[in-house]
A and B are shown apart, each in its own frame.
Chain A
Amino acid sequence: MSALPQTGEGRALDIALTYPWALLLLPLTLVPFFARQAKSLRYSSLSILPFDGLSFFFSNGVKLLTALVMLLLIVSLTKPYLKEQTVERMGKGAQIVILLDRSASMNENFAGRYFGGGASESKVAMARQLLSEFVLQRQDDFFGMISFSTAPIHVLPLTQDKEAILAAIRATKTRGRGVTNIAPGLYMGLSYFSDIPVTGSRVILLVSDGAAKIDIDTQTTLTQLFHQNRVMLYWVYLRNKDSARLDTKPANINESTTPEYFLHQYFQSMGIPYRSFEAENPQALQEAIKAIGELENKPIRYTEKIPRKDLAETCYLWTLAGLFVLLLIKYFEVKTEQKLIKRYL
Chain B
Amino acid sequence: MIEEFHYQIPWRTSSAHPGRHPGKHSGGEHDFQGHAPLISRPEAHNIDVHASLLDPFQQYVVRTFRQRSVINVTVIADLSASMGFQNKMATLAKFTEQTAYSAYRSGDHFGFMGCGEDIIPEFYMPPRWYKGGTAELAESLRHYHPASTNAKGLLTVQEYCPRHRALIFLVSDFHYPLQDIATLFDSLLKHDVIPVVMWHPDEYEQLPEWGLFTLSDPETGREKTLLMRPGLKKKIIQAFNAQREQLKHLFIRYGRQPFYLNDAFEADQMTRYFYEQ
Contact = CB atoms under 8 A, between A and B. Distances in A.
B179 interface: no
Given A48-B240, A49-B236, A52-B232, A58 B227 contact: yes
B267 to A, nearest CB: 24
B226 interface: yes
A50 interface: yes
Interface in B6-44: none
A22 interface: no
A59 interface: yes
A63 B143 CA distance: 37
A45 B224 CA distance: 11
A340 B226 CA distance: 12
Contacts of B85: 42-44
B235 A42 contact: no
B168 to A, nearest CB: 22
B200 interface: yes
A45 B218 CA distance: 7
Residue of B86, B216, B240 with most partner-chain A CB within 10 A: B216
A36 B218 CA distance: 12
B261 to A, nearest CB: 14
A25 to B, nearest CB: 25
Nearest to B200: A44
B206 A334 contact: no
Interface string A46-80: 11111010110011001000000000000000000
Contacts of A337: 86
A343 B86 CA distance: 14
B208 A340 contact: yes
Contact of A45 (B173, B206, B207, B211): B173
A37 B213 CA distance: 10
B277 interface: no
A50 B212 contact: no
A44 B222 contact: no
Nearest to A39: B214
A113 to B, nearest CB: 88
A326 to B, nearest CB: 13
Given A42-B84, A329-B212, A342 B206 contact: yes
A36 B216 contact: yes
A55 B175 contact: no
B217 interface: yes
Contact of B225 (A42, A62, A341): A62
Interface string B58-77: 00000000000000000000
B201 to A, nearest CB: 9
Contacts of B217: 43, 45-47
A43 B214 CA distance: 9
A220 interface: no
Interface residues on A, range: 20 to 34
A220 B132 CA distance: 131
A226 B176 CA distance: 95
Given A37-B223, A45-B219, A59-B225, A50 B214 contact: no
Determine the interface band of chain B, counting residues with CB < 8 A from chain A: 35 or more
A84 to B, nearest CB: 46
B98 interface: no
A39 B223 CA distance: 11
Contacts of B86: 337
B75 to A, nearest CB: 20
Interface in A138-189: none
Contacts of B238: 50
Nearest to A35: B223
A332 interface: yes
A48 B240 CA distance: 7
A342 B213 CA distance: 14
B243 A48 contact: yes
B54 interface: no
B226 A52 contact: yes
A333 interface: yes
B189 interface: no
Given A333-B212, A340-B213, A342-B206, A50 B235 contact: yes
Contacts of A333: 212-214
B213 A334 contact: yes
A40 interface: yes
Q: Taking each of B211, B217, B225, which has the highest tally of chain A beta carbons within 10 Å of its own beta carbon?
A: B225
Interface in B177-227: 200, 202-203, 206-208, 211-227
Contacts of B214: 37, 39-41, 59, 333
B206 A343 contact: yes
Contacts of A48: 175, 239-240, 243
A41 B211 CA distance: 13
A36 B223 contact: yes
B99 interface: no
Closest 4 pairs between A and B when the two form their complex, measured CB to CB:
A59-B225, A45-B175, A40-B216, A43-B215
8 contacts: A43-B85, A43-B203, A43-B216, A45-B219, A55-B225, A59-B214, A332-B212, A340-B208
Interface of A: 36-37, 39-50, 52, 54-55, 58-59, 62, 329, 332-335, 337, 340-343
Given A36-B223, A43-B203, 6 more contacts: A45-B175, A48-B240, A49-B215, A52-B226, A58-B225, A337-B86
